Structure 1
Amino acid sequence: MRAILGSQARLRWVHLLLGGALLMPYYLLATVLLSFALAPGTGLLGTAVFQLSALLVAVPLAALSALLFPLVRPLEATAARALTAPDGELATGPADTWGERTRPALYFTLHVLLGGIVSGMALAGPPGAVALIALPLTGHGDTLRAMPWAHWAQGPWLTLLAPLSGLALLALLIAAPWAAGTVLARCAPRLLGPSAADRLAEAEHRAHQLALRNRLARELHDSVGHALSAVLLQASAARTVLDSDPAFAREALAAIEQTTRNAVGELDTVLGLLREDGPASAAPAPTLAELDGLLARTRAAGSTVTLTTTGRPLDRLPPVVSREAYRIVQEGLGNALRHAGPVPVELRIDMDDDNLEVTVRNPLTPGPGHRRQGGGRGLAGIAERATLLRGSSTAGQRDDTWQLTVHLPLKGTTR
């Protein structure tokens, strides 16, 4: 009884009445068209035949209109989602191609057909059921017996069968909307669900969002992570010599100020990628042309960085390679600061017309007073950056040093 008369069944009944309302314009148009071809029948049977003919003409007209309007799918999906609670995913956008419009048009046709039938039963059924139940008491048995199909309405049959028929009609008025609503709810996911093209577009959108999230994670890790590591070492050094060497402490504090200012600028650039109402940021991402500033901040943290370059100048690299290479160098130096502390670091950048190779090497033994920190996602981010540029990266122990090597191709990369 809950399934037939519960709140969900009532919502589906409303959905069917909506289908009946949507059918009315087509039904009236079909009535006008048929009036030119057929004369409306006389009597109860003739009227029923004419109305049935109008219904058979109205349904194809509804199907044709649904094929012509791509917004039928989101409109029907919204109504079905709110009223029928389908067990499946429904599409949200319009059907753009003719092939995609076929299934929503079929659902719309089924909706208006079942809705029209249920609406007609809701209008004519209750009075008929009440009349049948009360027929033995009203004295209209002669009228019933005059019907050509009512030869059974004789004697006790009138007293027994008429009320039973009325009760059966009431039961049908309750069961028909439940059955029709169930059919629509089960058909909705198949006929209003996303097509293969919709699913592919959604998968591409999710992949794009995931790639953007990964990019933001890499940028935040490499830029802010390096700055925090440098600031940590500079603050530790300043605290250690604050009383014995105030001049060095002032230099360390100045380095902290400059490092923090640069980190705030890079953070604004990265967070600008999240803005949807304008360009990512007015400040461009740093490139290898700004490597001197990065090395100065790393040296201010206590590390001795030795730079060796071969091949073309750093400012002649393709912009995208130069930006990614800067982040790779930044993360390599940041790893040395985080895990080894203020130790000598060798940075080598080799370039030719076809390839760029970046090598960062530092001792495995942590510097004095530095406690080695746990691993993070820096190496994974470096590998992702290299893979996006069709390159490769390796990292690991070489004798008593830790070495990071990244190989990036230059051909075919211009942006």
Structure 2
Amino acid sequence: MPYLLLASVVVGPLTGATDVFSDLGLQLASFACGLPLAALTAALSPLTRPMSVAVVRALCGVDPAELADGPPRTREARARTAAWFTLHLGAGGILSGMTLAVPPFALALIALPFVPALRDSDKLFPRTADHPWALALMPVAGLVMLVALAGCAAVASGLLARWAPALLGPSPADRLAQAEERAADLAVRNRLARELHDSVGHALSAVTLQASAARRVLDSDPDFVREALAAIEDTTRRTVGELDAVLGVLREAGDAAATAPAPTLADDLDGLLRRTRAGGTEVTARVDVDPAGLPPLVSREAYRIVQEALSNALRHAGTAVALRLARDGDALRIIAENPLPDDGAGPPRPGGGHGLRGIADRARLLGGTASAGPAPGAPGTWLLDVRLPLPSRKEPKIP
């Protein structure tokens, strides 16, 4: 109606008519002039597609996956949105006019044989009394008109529902944006899962081993027990802090999840080694690189890799682990060795573990490599070897 009224302001002066709505031809001309105005506003307004998609989802029974969300991103998508809006508005305007005019006229036809006042009106139904057969067919004609009106509405609804996915569906740019959004979300989820696995998994392994060692020497070595209990307290306190940070990120909206805090080699390598040794595990560490000089991202990921290497040693070996960190050309090299159990494999875990996969993922995201398995030339030894790229600097390679 707003577009029709606006167009009538133009059609009236152009045709010299003082009352546009008293002439059906001028009404149709105003209607035709209003459609381009509707298309123009639909193309310019970013809210047209979200509103139209909401209408289609509510009324047309279209699969939501076939419709795009948000404003159109490209000129082609805006053109399709304008086409849908104009088509919807045009069909709705025609059906609205028919709904206003047809039912009263059809009801009058149905009542014509039974209401003499209608038959006597020459303006409405002139000379119907002169044709009894026509009078008898009037109710049938009225019913046919009502059925035809319902049929027109059903056909228009079906056509609009069929055309909606083509005109309001996602464009290639929309699909690309959705894929990127899903990929970013999965990346954040995977990172948070790795953070929780490495942090909580290491803490549980360390605390279990420390508590077990303390229980065995409870009566014979009180100093060791006190040291183990202090390590348990320190480990759990740090892990609860990391867990709170990760869960806080999960509760936040937007892209804040990409900045989940995590310890680094410079912050806590010594503490990590100390807490691991407190459980009775012999940890031999050789650090030939300055942790404070590493890039923050590499330092953070390297810390988690070292943490997971120690966790695996605690779970599967529990006796000793040798760790080395050094610069190897343009990469940080992390090597961890520990003895295998007597059967040559770690104890079975229900559902399997994700630690080695997490190490490989962290190395790959930084452009590095990771390998793990029985050490070649050293039977009974498990070897983890990780390379993380660093800024170029000439140093001797690790033999």
Partner of 2:300: 323
**Distance of 2:134 and 2:357 partners within structure 1:** 86
Report the Cα distance in structure 1 between the residues aligned to 2:259 and 2:143, rounded to whole angstroms. Answer: 77
Equivalent position of 2:364 in the other structure: 387
TM-score normalised over the length of structure 2: 0.87
- Distance (Å, rounded) in 2 between the aligned partners of 1:255 and 1:32: 84
Asked if 1:339 is matched to 2:316, the reply is: yes
TM-score (norm 1): 0.84
Equivalence for 1:116: 93
Structure 1 CA distance for aligned equivalents of residues 163 and 134 of structure 2 = 42
Deviates more, 1:294-303 or 1:235-244: 235-244
* Preserved CA contact (<8 Å) 1:305 1:345: yes
**1:245 maps to 2:225:** no
1:55 aligns with 2:42: no
Q: Deviations over 1:234-270 (max 9, x none)?
A: 1111122223333332222122112212222332343
Contact 1:272 1:281 in 2 (8 A): no
Which residue matches 1:297?
275
C-alpha contact (below 8 Å) 2:325/2:335 kept by paired residues:
yes
Q: Which moved more, 1:287-296 or 1:208-217?
A: 287-296
Matched, 1:401 2:381: yes
Moved more, 32-41 or 63-72: 32-41
Q: Give the drift of 1:133.
A: 2.2
Q: CA deviation at 1:161?
A: 3.2
What CA deviation, in whole Å up to 9, does each residue of 1:92-120 have, x standing for no partner? Answer: 31224432211111111111111111111
Letter paired with 2:390 = L
Name 2:109's counterpart in structure 1.
132
Counterpart in 2 of 1:259? 235
Counterpart for residue 372 of structure 1: 347
**Deviation, structure 1 residue 60:** 1.6
User: Whole-Å Cα distance in 2 between the matches of residues 192 and 140 of structure 1?
Assistant: 53
- 1:93-112 equivalence runs, <5 A: 93-112=70-89
Give the superposition deviation at 1:76.
1.4
1:61-114 deviations in Å (ceiling 9; x for gaps): 211221121211111111222222223432231224432211111111111111
Q: Give the letter aligned to residue 212 of structure 2.
A: S
SS in 2 for 1:264: helix
Rounded to whole Å, the distance in 1 between the matches of 2:105 and 2:151 is 16
Match of 1:68 in 2: 44
Shift of 1:383: 0.3
Does residue 190 of structure 1 match 2:166? Answer: yes
What secondary structure does 2:324 align onto? strand
In structure 2, what is the Cα distance between the partners aligned to 1:281 and 1:143?
Answer: 76
2:146 corresponds to which of 170, 178, 181: 170
Separation in structure 1 between the aligned mates of residue 258 and residue 368 of structure 2, nearest angstrom: 28
CA distance in 2, matches of 1:284, 1:53: 66
Query: Matches of 2:111 and 2:186 in 1, distance apart?
Result: 69
How far residue 136 of structure 1 moved from its aligned partner, in angstroms, is 3.7
**What's the counterpart of residue 202 of structure 1?**
178
CA contact (8 A) 2:39 2:83 kept: yes
| Cα distance, 1:53 vs structure 2 | 1.5
Alignment correspondent of 1:14? none
1:121-176, CA deviations, whole angstroms, 9 ceiling, x for partnerless residues?
A: 111111111222233443248657769xx9xx963441233222211111112212
Local SS of the residue matching 2:140: helix
AA paired with 1:292?
D
Aligned CA-pair RMSD: 2.9
Q: How has the CA–CA distance of structure 1 residues 145 and 249 changed in structure 2, closer, same or farther, with 3 Å as cutoff?
A: closer
Shift of 1:208: 0.7
